[in-house]
Amino acid sequence: MKEIAIDVNGLTKSFDGRTVVRDLSLEVPKGEIYGFLGPNGSGKTTTLRMLCGLLTPDSGEGTCLGYDIRIEADAIKRNVGYMTQRFSLYADLSIRENLEFVARVYGMPDPKGAASRAIARLGLTGRQDQLAGELSGGWKQRLALGACILPEPRLLLLDEPTAGVDPKARREFWDEIHGLAAEGITVLVSTHYMDEAERCHELAYIAFGELLAQGTAKEVVAQSGLSTWIVSGGDLHRLGAALQVRDGIDMVAPFGAELHVSGRDEAALDAAIKAAKNADGAHRWTRGAPSLEDVFILLMDEAKDNFA
């Protein structure tokens, strides 16, 4: 049996009469990377803040790291590293000065030594005297991660940590995240990137306050029941518009020089594709496998916007 780091049931949170998170339940094993996906305003950040004790749910219950999320928020905070979307360290301090300051805030016995170890671990050696405000996006995120792990938390909450970061820096960041998970740290991370989602051990898709899917990437795709055809050729925009209105087709999405045409009823989808092929001889039609992005686009299209 896996040790459970987070176990919450029925979490609901509203602001000004608008429900932002509705009846959300999660179970996250220790040492796993759990991904939150969903459109802006879907409740991802609110969920993270409830889990780490920064917000109290209106209803629901559960534990985080064995502590009750309602009455033991202070104990949870002492064991969590929370990385916000916005860079929150001091721009006019150097990397070393920022890390030493964080170490002192947490009351660590050797702030200089702790900062030096973090600098070495995250590949910041040689940059330790550079001002944080002068760093590129990727280096800022690496510094922010260093500050999060400085007090040796048992849980990391990362809110869209690689937004605006180049692909190489993103990959290096995720390599470090997997290293931390291998050491037993549980990681909850929100992201908009499908390649990052596929690097998570498990996923939860939240749209407008409601949990619509969860499981491994393969399980989420399988649970969707989607079947997909891939179409290539010229004038795909016109073809896509024509396919979108056919019965049996739930989603048409462009992917580079191809269209992904998907439906939940395989027989109805195949009938629609057969009719389209008979009426069109200019395109190549091949059966494909639905991607994680296909599933999430469909879920987002079907979700009800609670801000509408």
% helix, strand, coil for the chain, step of 5: 35, 30, 35
Any idea what DSSP says for residue 291? Answer: P
In a domain, 105, yes or no: yes
Question: What residues are paired with 204 via a beta bridge?
Answer: 36, 214
Q: Are residues 183 and 230 in the same domain?
A: no
- Mean pLDDT computed over 273-277: 89
- Rg, Å, the chain Cα set: 22
**pLDDT band at 155; cut points 50, 70, 90:** very high
Strands across the sheet containing 210-215: 80-83, 155-159, 186-190, 33-37, 202-207, 210-215
In a domain, 73, yes or no: yes
Query: What is the spatial distance between Cα 150 and Cα 83, in angstroms, rounded to a whole number?
Result: 12
Residue 163's alpha-carbon distances to 8, 160, 189, in angstroms, are 28, 6, 12
User: Could you report the per-residue pLDDT of 52-63, keeping only the tens digit for each?
Assistant: 888 999 999 999
- Mean pLDDT computed over 224-233: 92
In a domain, 38, yes or no: yes
Q: Are residues 217 and 262 in the same domain?
A: no
Q: Are residues 263 and 116 in the same domain?
A: no
Q: Are residues 71 and 205 in the same domain?
A: yes
Q: Are residues 46 and 150 in the same domain?
A: yes
Over 90: is that where the pLDDT of 23 sits? yes
The proportion of the chain whose per-residue pLDDT surpasses 90, expressed as a percent, equals 48
**pLDDT band at 207; cut points 50, 70, 90:** confident
In a domain, 300, yes or no: no
In a domain, 305, yes or no: no
Question: What pLDDT is recorded for position 285?
Answer: 92
- Domain enclosing residue 100, as ranges: 4-221
pTM equals: 0.86
Q: Are residues 172 and 242 in the same domain?
A: no
Question: What pLDDT is recorded for position 186?
Answer: 95
In a domain, 113, yes or no: yes
Q: Are residues 141 and 49 in the same domain?
A: yes
Question: What pLDDT is recorded for position 43?
Answer: 87
In a domain, 79, yes or no: yes
Q: What is the CATH number of the domain that holds 183?
A: 3.40.50.300
Q: Are residues 192 and 83 in the same domain?
A: yes
**Mean pLDDT score of the chain:** 89
**pLDDT band at 298; cut points 50, 70, 90:** confident
Q: What is the CATH number of the domain that holds 252?
A: 3.30.70.100
User: Could you report the per-residue pLDDT of 111-138, keeping only the tens digit for each?
Assistant: 999 999 988 888 888 888 999 988 888 8
Over 70: is that where the pLDDT of 278 sits? yes
Q: Are residues 193 and 44 in the same domain?
A: yes
Q: Are residues 120 and 208 in the same domain?
A: yes
Q: Are residues 120 and 250 in the same domain?
A: no
Question: What pLDDT is recorded for position 304?
Answer: 62
Residue type, 294: D
Q: Could you tell me which residue, 152 or 87, shows the higher pLDDT?
A: 152
- Mean pLDDT computed over 144-158: 90
Over 80: is that where the pLDDT of 296 sits? yes
Phi, psi of 58 (to 5 degrees): -70, -35
* Residue where one domain finishes, among candidates 166, 200, 221: 221
Report yes or no: 263 and 249 within 8 Å, Cβ to Cβ: yes
* Residue where one domain finishes, among candidates 165, 193, 221: 221
Q: How many domains does the chain have?
A: 2
In a domain, 84, yes or no: yes
* Residue where one domain finishes, among candidates 221, 256, 280: 221
Question: What residues are paired with 4 via a beta bridge?
Answer: 29
Q: Are residues 245 and 263 in the same domain?
A: yes
**pLDDT band at 255; cut points 50, 70, 90:** confident
Whose CA is closest to 207, among 23, 60, 21, 50?
A: 21
Over 90: is that where the pLDDT of 88 sits? no
